Amino acid sequence: MTTKFVRRFLLALLFTLPAAALAQAAGTADALPAAPSAAGAPDTAATGTGGAKVGTINIEQAIFASNEGQRDFEALSKKLEPKQTELKNQNDEVESLKKQLNTQGEKLNEDARATLVKQIEQKQKSLERSVQDARDEAQSQQNDIAQRILQKMAPIIVKYAGDKSFGLIFDTSNPWPQGPVLWAGPSVDITKAIVDAYNVQSGVPAPAKPVTTKPAATGTRPAVPAAGTKPPASTGAQAPK
């Protein structure tokens, strides 16, 4: 998974409403939770380890690419599907009223037109409130999952760093200049190694891939993806050398 996908995994699922309906909504709060505070972080000083190597890890990617992360976020996305449908229905109603105003506005008397305009405004505000409430609830549940996994993953990172003689590990979840790393080569990235180690410890199996049936030979060429379609993003970082 790319970092961009990681950040918007659930919010993109919920809020794929037309831009016009959301233009007035509040800004997206799509950041993942911060790393655990000092009180909840593993005691690195107690390990007595320290090496000369510097490594990097994309914590966001590690959380979402883990088997447990994929399982739990997929379950959450399914849980939120009814809310997605509800928001779409609200949006469709607003758009229908706007279309009615555009096509019939000049034919309505002043009172009828004013009533329709007020109705649109009220439903638009209600939609925006519903979107914001749903966004906050989705983000809260997303954060809960991410924090739970991160708390269990942190000791694995510390142990791996000690075993491999890393003296410093940087988080590359946020690209520079928002993050601390301007550039780092794939040879120092430990993301995949940590995901693999976490999957072993958690015991959660890899998500089942959808079964595809081989199509019968028809003599026709396979369909070509529409213009602008991007291939699926890789779900794992390159393993350290």
In a domain, 142, yes or no: yes
For residue 128 the two structure tokens come to 């925006």
Pairing of strands 53-57, 166-171: parallel
C-alpha 152/C-alpha 42 separation (Å) is 10
The count of domains in the chain is 1
- Residue 206: the pLDDT is 93
In a domain, 38, yes or no: no
Query: What are the phi and psi torsion angles at 222 (to 5°)?
Result: -65, 155
In a domain, 191, yes or no: yes
In a domain, 237, yes or no: no
Task: Write out the residue range of the structural domain in which residue 118 sits.
Answer: 3-24+46-202
C-alpha 161/C-alpha 23 separation (Å) is 45
In a domain, 64, yes or no: yes
In a domain, 89, yes or no: yes
In a domain, 171, yes or no: yes
C-alpha 156/C-alpha 153 separation (Å) is 5
With a threshold of 0.85, does the pTM exceed it?
Answer: no
Measuring CA to CA, which residue among 151, 235, 162 is closest to residue 201? 151
Return the SS3 of 25.
Answer: coil
Per-position pLDDT tens, the chain of length 241: 333 333 443 334 333 333 333 333 333 334 444 444 333 444 443 344 456 899 999 999 999 999 999 999 999 999 999 999 999 999 999 999 999 888 887 788 888 889 989 999 999 999 999 999 999 999 999 999 999 999 999 999 999 999 999 999 999 999 999 999 999 999 999 999 999 999 999 999 998 876 544 444 444 333 333 333 333 333 333 333 3
- The H or E element spanning position 56 is strand 53-57
In a domain, 32, yes or no: no
Q: Per-residue pLDDT tens for 180-220?
A: 999 999 999 999 999 999 999 999 999 887 654 444 444 43
